[in-house]
Amino acid sequence: MAMSVGSDGGDDEVVSSINTTPLVDVMLVLLIIFLITIPVVTQTVPVKLPSETNIARQTKPENIEISVSKEGDVFWNAQLVPDNEALFQRLKKIATMTPQPEVHIRGDQASRYESVGRVIFACQRAAILKISFVTEPPAKG
């Protein structure tokens, strides 16, 4: 039994080619793993999300404008409403009108969600059908 160790004199040739077979094998295994796991990770409930619309608001004299300050104070057409029950009573009177006026809510950027949520809840309790949020249009350019 003979084994060749080292070189036999004149064969001092440097091997400059890289064996890429193990690299390709590893990459194919990773590709298969990703193809199997990505559909499992991205499972979601199919929902159709609303698209963004920017409709210019048409101010009618019968529309109600409710503003919420950053301190949480509620204003009915620039007049302070003392508490939620008073707001509800005013909205209940408006809800019986035909046609029912729209309620436009203007919430301060720094106000808490809770303050705006109380106004929405009062509108819901009073059976107001149309509620809109007034926002600042994005800057152009």
Query: What residue spans define the domains of the chain?
Result: 64-133
Q: Is the pLDDT of residue 113 over 70?
A: yes
The span from the CA of 110 to the CA of 120, in Å, is: 17
pLDDT one-digit tens code per residue, 59-97: 777 789 999 998 999 999 889 999 999 999 999 999 998
**DSSP type of residue 4:** -
List the CATH code of the domain at 64-133. 3.30.420.270
pLDDT of residue 14: 76
The span from the CA of 66 to the CA of 75, in Å, is: 6
Q: Is the pLDDT of residue 55 over 80?
A: no
CB 74 within 8 A of CB 114: no
With 0-12 CB in 10 A as exposed, 13-18 as middle and 19+ as buried, what is 46?
A: exposed
